[in-house]
Amino acid sequence: MSVRPYRDIHRRQCRRIHVGKVPVGGGAPITVQSMTNTVTSDVKATVEQIQALERAGADIVRVSCPDQESALALKRIVPQVSVPIVADIHFHYKRAIEAAESGAACLRINPGNIGSAERVREVIKAARDHGCSMRIGVNAGSLERDLLEKYGEPCPEAMVESALDHAKILEDNDFFEFKISCKASDVFLAVAAYQQLAEACDYPLHLGITEAGAQRMGTVKSSIGLGMLLWAGIGDTIRVSLSADPVEEVRVGYDMLKSLGLRRRGVTVISCPSCARQQFPVIKTVEVLEERLAHITTPLTLSVIGCVVNGPGEARETDIGFTGGGNNTHQVYVSGIADHRLKDADIVDHLVALVEQKAAALEAVKRDAAEAALENAQ
Decide: 211 and 234 in contact? Cβ < 8 Å.
no
- Could you give the count of Cα atoms lying within 13 Å of 77 in the half-sphere of its Cβ? 37
Residue 152 region by backbone torsions, left for phi larger than 0, else alpha for psi between -120 and 50, else beta: left
Tell me what pLDDT residue 1 has. 45
Q: How far apart are CA 342 and CA 74, in angstroms?
A: 52
Q: Give the rounded distance of the alpha carbon of 18 from its chain centre.
A: 16
For 107, which DSSP code? E
**Which of 359, 249, 366 shows the shortest CA–CA distance to 299?**
359
Phi and psi for 271 in degrees, rounded to 5?
A: -140, 155
- Could you give the count of Cα atoms lying within 13 Å of 167 in the half-sphere of its Cβ? 22
The CB density around residue 208, as the number of other CB atoms within 10 Å, is: 26
What element of type H or E holds 88?
strand 85-88
Please return the burial class of 255, using the count of CB atoms within 10 Å of its CB with bins 0-12, 13-18 and 19+.
middle
What element of type H or E holds 322?
strand 320-323
b/e 266-287 (16+ beta carbons within 10 angstroms → b) = bbbbbbbebeeebbbebeebbe
Phi and psi for 135 in degrees, rounded to 5?
A: -125, 120
Residue 30 region by backbone torsions, left for phi larger than 0, else alpha for psi between -120 and 50, else beta: beta
For 113, which DSSP code? G
Helix ranges restricted to H, the chain: 43-56, 68-77, 93-101, 117-129, 145-151, 156-172, 187-200, 215-231, 246-259, 282-292, 311-316, 347-377
pTM across the whole model: 0.91
Tell me what pLDDT residue 366 has. 87
Say which CATH topology domain 16-259 has.
Answer: TIM Barrel (3.20.20)
Stretches where the chain sits below pLDDT 70 are 1-6
Q: How far apart are CA 62 and CA 109, in angstroms?
A: 12
Rg (CA), the chain: 23
Cα dihedral across residues 176, 64, 216, 193: positive or negative: negative
Decide: 87 and 104 in contact? Cβ < 8 Å.
yes
Q: Which amino acid is present at 63?
A: V
- Tell me the sheet residues that pair with 322: 304, 332
Helix 347-377, helix 282-292: angle, nearest 10: 40
CATH assignment of 267-375, among 3.40.50.1980, 3.30.413.10, 3.20.20.120, 3.40.50.720: 3.30.413.10
Q: How far apart are CA 149 and CA 190, in angstroms?
A: 20
| Residue pLDDT, tens place only, 73-131 | 999 999 999 999 999 998 899 999 999 999 999 999 987 788 788 999 999 999 999 99
Cα dihedral across residues 349, 350, 356, 360: positive or negative: positive
What residue spans define the domains of the chain?
16-259, 267-375
Three-state DSSP class for residue 35: strand
Tell me what pLDDT residue 117 has. 87
